[in-house]
Amino acid sequence: MIMTHDAAALKAREIASRVLAPSAGQNDKAGQFSTEAVKSLGDAGLLGLLLPVNVGGAELGPRTFAAVTAALAEADASVAMVYLMHVLGTATISAARPRAAQALTPILQEIAAGRHLSTLAFSEAGSRSHFWAPISRAHRNGDGVRIRAKKSWVTSAGHAHSYVVSALAPEGVGPTDSTLYLLSSGTRGLSVAGPWDGLGLRANASAPLALDDCEVPLQFQLTDDGGGFSAMLNVVLPLFNLGTAAVALGLCRAAVAGTTSHLKSAKFEHLGQSLGESLPTLRAQLATMQIDTDGLAARIDDLIEHLEKPRDTTMLRVLESKAAAGDVAISVTSTAMRVCGGAAFSKHLSIERLFRDAHAGVVMAPTGDVLREFIGKSLLGIPLF
């Protein structure tokens, strides 16, 4: 039976409350990747959410992807980011050039069956947040290529079954002449090159990955030579920006819920009132959090509408949405920290995890600063690259 939008969103909420919420705090503390969460998402058919029906996918669109991602993020943003990177990896594999179809179809079927987790390995130590300009170069190796690279942050590193990897094309001349390849986790020379101990999103294993002369056969070349940049821009960027905005929305909703609950339950016993009953300033700050959260939800709806019916302003919306979402998440969770005071600061509530997780959004590339640079340049008619 084909999954509907409502069924997918319901499954995501059910997994969020049954699997993610009970262990989010502990996994954050321990920096523990949740294989249980990935298994639940796979069993529910959510790993193949955007894949075509002919490989077993649900063939749903950006609207459902955003709803599922936001629901997961409300319970555990680390898992939501694992899911987001998986969906991006999957979309890139699915959009691969036709000559790779025979080799890739069994992988897409495994993904749709919930048995395969993928991710993106773009960022490199050398070009940092400028993921569109890899330093590594693929070298011809018979029909295929050989790649040596230092990938600096890879979500789900060591847990994914495959990695969508960028490298400069063998004969590429410019800094963005990249090609995308699919490497299985068992590829000789591929290894996790260090631990992940971030400020936030601590349970998503965003560790560095080393590619030590990894051999990639021709059938796992996803784009034409030099076609990586176009895939990054047209396949990855819109979904990534939508997904990170959805993660931000989930974090904001969790912050509003957590703050509301604290303002209702914490008491000034000497006054016989809850914090919320007693202090108008706290009510006003809670209201601002709610207004900003709903504003972000409206922005995400607008972006989805643009992605469903592309038009001249679509790329601008794609850029704006991630830039705005990152700032809103930081602002809303910062206000939550302030409103919940010492209880939040001393980690008695989950608010401080939301606050830390919210800071990843602006750091993840394209960063908030880079997005502003792109928007400003495009308004002024200055070339972006």
Residues in contact with ligand FAD by the rule CB under 6 A = 85, 119-123, 128-129, 131, 153-155, 198, 201, 206, 360, 363-365, 367, 369-370, 373
> What is the β-pairing status of strands 144-154 and 190-192?
unpaired
- The residue (of 210 and 365) whose beta carbon lies closer to ligand FAD is 365
- The residue (of 88 and 286) whose beta carbon lies closer to ligand FAD is 88
- The residue (of 238 and 276) whose beta carbon lies closer to ligand FAD is 238
Min separation Cβ 162 and ligand FAD, Å: 13
Determine the straight-line distance between the first and last CA of the chain, rounded to whole angstroms. Answer: 45
Min separation Cβ 98 and ligand FAD, Å: 26
- Secondary structure (3-state) at 155: coil
- The residue (of 291 and 382) whose beta carbon lies closer to ligand FAD is 382
Q: Three-state SS string across 310-364, please?
A: CCCCHHHHHHHHHHHHHHHHHHHHHHHHHHHHHHHHCCCCCHHHHHHHHCHHHHC
Min separation Cβ 173 and ligand FAD, Å: 22
Min separation Cβ 266 and ligand FAD, Å: 32
Report the number of secondary-structure helices (H) and strands (E) in the chain.
Answer: 14, 9
Length of the chain: 385
- CA dihedral (337, 340, 346, 347) in degrees, to 10, reads -80
Q: How far is residue 380's CA from residue 3's CA, in Å, rounded to a whole number? A: 44
- The residue (of 295 and 376) whose beta carbon lies closer to ligand FAD is 376
Min separation Cβ 127 and ligand FAD, Å: 8
Min separation Cβ 125 and ligand FAD, Å: 8
For residue 114 the two structure tokens come to 């919930």
- Whether residue 175 is preceded by a cis peptide bond, meaning omega within 30 degrees of 0, is no
What are residue 65's phi and psi, to 5 degrees?
-55, -45
Residue identified by tokens 């000559």 is: 99
Q: Following DSSP, what letter does each residue of 25-57 receive, concatenated?
A: HHHHHHT---HHHHHHHHHTT-TTTTS-GGGT-
245 neighbors 128 (Cβ within 8 angstroms): no
Min separation Cβ 152 and ligand FAD, Å: 6
- The residue (of 1 and 379) whose beta carbon lies closer to ligand FAD is 379
Min separation Cβ 151 and ligand FAD, Å: 7
- The residue (of 63 and 151) whose beta carbon lies closer to ligand FAD is 151
- The residue (of 90 and 206) whose beta carbon lies closer to ligand FAD is 206
- The residue (of 84 and 263) whose beta carbon lies closer to ligand FAD is 84
Q: How far is residue 251's CA from residue 333's CA, in Å, rounded to a whole number? A: 8
Q: How far is residue 377's CA from residue 385's CA, in Å, rounded to a whole number? A: 10
Taking only Cα atoms into account, the Rg of the chain, rounded to an integer number of angstroms, comes to: 21
Min separation Cβ 357 and ligand FAD, Å: 9
384 neighbors 374 (Cβ within 8 angstroms): yes
